[in-house]
Amino acid sequence: MSLGAIITGISAVISTIASVGSMVATYGKSIFSALNGLDLLRIAQVVDIICTTVDLISKLLGLENKDTVDELGAKALQSDKQLEDFDSVQQYIDYLNKEIQIDQTKMKEMSLMDKIACQTVGTAILSKGIEEKKDILIPGDFWTTIGKQAISPEFAMSVIEGFKEAGFQQVQMTSYLKGDLKMEEMDKSESIMMNSLKKLNPELSDDQMKERLGDMIRSANTEG
């Protein structure tokens, strides 16, 4: 696919995302915008990983959703109601699951760009649900970092919980990896990351964990 076609397609995805309610649209665009600079196939790969991770974490936290992530997004794009019309994310998901019908044939035949748009919107909805469950803000670039580096759902969950327990108002993993925090926040964030690595990889030595963390930092500052 030519660069011009990719740019046109990405613009179409952002336009589609913008058509849903402001809260979900803003969050969805923050996820997708962090993929700027990647080619289309890489974007699709990253979005697939994000969907799998967000879907699993949302289920672990007790969010009930009967649709796939892209189906949920497609229903949101089709619905006249928005997340802002409901008292909770779960109520919005229940409404979309039960009240909005989609054509499965069209779902199977949709273009890659349309699928990415639906996945991104569905991811945004479930992400807002995770925020609601954990009572902490999760920026869109957190999920894109998870997707780009193929970080496990277990590690992502541990990091979210770590930042919450440390008293942060927002998960600052990507800002930490890119060196965008003040020194005190950098130190706290590094401790959270190291604790998560140790929790999931108890067999690693401190030097090995530092090496893993160094790999994550290098990756966050090279791709995209």
The overall pTM is greater than 0.95: no
pLDDT (tens digit per residue) in 147-162:
999 999 999 999 999 9
Closest CA to 214 of 149, 162, 163: 149
pLDDT at res. 21:
59
104 or 65, which is more confident? Answer: 65
pLDDT at res. 4:
41
12 or 44, which is more confident? Answer: 44
pLDDT (tens digit per residue) in 8-32:
444 555 556 655 656 777 777 777 7
| Tokens coding 52 | 């799998």
Sign of the four-CA dihedral 127, 129, 130, 132: positive
pLDDT at res. 29:
76
Domain limits, the chain = 1-134, 136-224
When pLDDT is averaged across residues 103-130 and rounded to a whole number, the result is: 90
